[in-house]
Amino acid sequence: MTGDELRALFLEFFEGKGHKIIPGSSLIPQDDPTLLLTSAGMVQIKPYFLGELEPPSRRLASCQKCFRTTDIERVGDTSHLTFFEMLGNFSVGDYFKKETIAWAWEFITQHLGMPEDRLWASIFLDDDDAFNYWLDTGMPADKILRFGEEDNFWGPAGDSGPCGPDSEIFYDLGEEVGCGKPSCAPNCGCDRFVEIGTLVFMQFNQDKNGNRTPLPKPSIDTGMGIERNAAVVQGKTSVYETDLFVPLLDCVSRLSGKKYGTDNEIDSAMRVVTEHSRGITFLIGDGVMPSNEGRGYVLRRLLRRAALFGRRLGLDRPFLKEIAEITIRQMEHVYPELKQRQDFILNIIEMEETRFGETLNSGLELIENIMATPSIKSTKIIPGEDVFRLYDTYGFPVELTSEIGASRGFTVDLEGFDREMDKQRQRAKAVQKFGSAGMVKNGVNNIVDIMTTPFVGYSGTKQRTEILSMLVNGDSVRSIAQGQEAGIILAETPFYGEMGGR
């Protein structure tokens, strides 16, 4: 069964159970300041759960593009992804636990054909209803495990919103795949039990302080990652061996001349490059642009990681565009926006990767110079200050500096680097305080009636205006003497204010 077939089968199955199929939404959440990126199928369902909007039907199902920043560092293993597709069925105050569990079981065993004896379930501690509905499916009691909030309570997505106890479904890949411990079971942490689905029993709206109030009606939110389920039905132990990833991995292999499956480190680098290239393509396709903050930074970080891991495979010229092209070709029938924005996506990738390549090259030159400094050449230790400068100014990860150093017999002063990082954090904290605590000698301190200075810089960079107030040491003054330092507050300003002092 291909990934495409799996996606279609899921939607058909739930359509058959009276669900309205709705299109997935953008990776950039609409009107949702609590989230950086769409991280689950339920994101667009939130206003329905909260009773803020009337749903087009009480039963909905979708295939949703998702992006999870929490897993970036884990990418490279066999199952964690930043970008993935989530299949979900939702009940907005309609059916609840009984149907959800029965239908998940029916779909997985009868339509995906997963053998019953490979399946396990986990439930929230005291959720006896869920326990009994699992028993009804035929699941033996000893394969229904109970866990606390950490494992079996889902949400909210972001800092507030709908949440509730959940039940997870696991597939046992077999003893030979895992840690081999007799105690190995779902949530062990090894690769043996793959979580293939989550059924959330949405019951609460949680506020920013963690207070929970009941939702208008108990509701359902389920999620099944296509990639992991495709791996199971295709008899693979890794998502990268499914038809969803093989063409991309082949492309990385062709570009780098490296074979997948021969060396652990090479394999892991190939997986990172493959996964990140796919994620980058979808992010730009939905309008995310590289930048130093927010979702733009997520994109930039992903692209840089992909380029760096590419170097480990010997790819030192821009190459990400080529993997993006394959991604677009492979996914455009499901996500036509990729094809529509193809030129734009490829251009942005190429520009950003080229720019990073130049940064990387200047950084490499700098490392050469550092290593050639006589005092450093003799100790063979790259000082923490230099490692930090490479990191801070050139975006050079410490591990890269270490690796380059090691290849020439140098070590890096990691403690010194950590000290510099600490200093940086202190500086950042001071800057944050700057704006609010009146640390600027001549900044606003006691003046509360002037809130915002109108910014006129969009129409011109010169402005004739009035001085509203003058400040010395944070206090308003009527006059200042020649030579005295002071701050002034203007009626309008063409200066663009970003943060305190800038």
Which residue ranges make up the site for ligand SER (CB under 6 A)? 40-42, 88, 154, 198, 200, 221-223
The total number of residues shown for the chain amounts to 502
Q: By C-alpha distance, which of 326, 340, 180 is closest to 244?
A: 326
Instruction: Compute the least distance from the CB of residue 190 to ligand SER, in Å.
Output: 21
Nearer to ligand SER by C-beta: 40 or 302?
Answer: 40
In the block, tokens 């997520």 appear at 298
User: Among candidates 90, 87, 134, which has minimal Cα distance to 229?
Assistant: 87
Residue type, 208: K
Residue with tokens 């209803």: 129
Identify whether the C-beta of residue 47 lies closer than 8 Å to the C-beta of residue 164.
no
Shortest reach from residue 82's CB to ligand SER, in Å:
14
Comparing CB distances to ligand SER, the nearer of 41 and 285 is 41
Which residue number, 202 or 273, has a Cβ lying nearer to ligand SER?
Answer: 202
DSSP E strands in 358-486: the ranges are 381-382, 411-412, 467-472, 475-477
- The Cα 197–Cα 114 span in angstroms is 13
Question: Of 88 and 186, which has the nearer Cβ to ligand SER?
Answer: 88
- Give 38 or 256: the residue with its C-beta nearer to ligand SER: 38
What residues are paired with 214 via a beta bridge? 204
Question: How far is the first Cα of the chain from the last one, in angstroms, to the nearest whole number?
Answer: 57
Measured from the CB atom, the residue of 24 and 88 that comes closer to ligand SER is 88
Residue from 145, 149, 125, 144 nearest 204 by CA: 149
CA-to-CA distance for 330 and 324, rounded, in angstroms? 10
> Rounded to the nearest 10 degrees, how much is the dihedral formed by the CA atoms of 49, 197, 25, 249?
170
Residue 165 backbone phi and psi in degrees, to 5? -65, 155
In the bound state with ligand SER, the residue whose beta carbon lies nearer, of 85 and 420, is 85
Compare residues 202 and 315 and give the one whose CB is closer to ligand SER.
Answer: 202
Whether residue 195 contacts residue 168, with contact meaning beta carbons closer than 8 Å, is answered with yes
CB of 41 to ligand SER, least distance (A): 5
Distance, in Å, from the CA atom of 56 to the CA atom of 450, rounded to the nearest integer, reads 47
Tokens 């019951």, residue located: 203
Nearer to ligand SER, 40 or 382 (CB): 40
* Whole-angstrom distance, CA of residue 40 vs CA of residue 88: 9
Cis peptide before 55 (omega within 30 of 0): no
The nearer residue to ligand SER, 40 or 121, going by C-beta atoms, is 40
Q: How far is CA 166 from CA 102, 146, 214, 232, in A?
A: 15, 11, 16, 22
Residue nearest ligand SER (C-beta atom): 223
Shortest gap between Cβ of 88 and ligand SER (angstroms)?
A: 5
* Long-range CB contact pairs, 364-371, < 8 A, 24+: 364/404, 366/390, 366/394, 367/401, 367/404, 367/405, 371/405, 371/408, 371/410
d(CA 276, CA 302): 6
Q: Which residue has 């039940």 as its token pair?
A: 167
Measured from the CB atom, the residue of 64 and 256 that comes closer to ligand SER is: 64
Q: Which is nearer to ligand SER, 164 or 500 (CB)?
A: 164
Say if residue 109 is exposed, middle or buried (CB neighbours under 10 Å; 0-12, 13-18, 19+): middle
Question: Least distance from C-beta 109 to ligand SER, angstroms?
Answer: 20
Cβ atoms < 10 Å from Cβ of 315: 21
- Nearest distance from C-beta of residue 200 to ligand SER, angstroms: 5
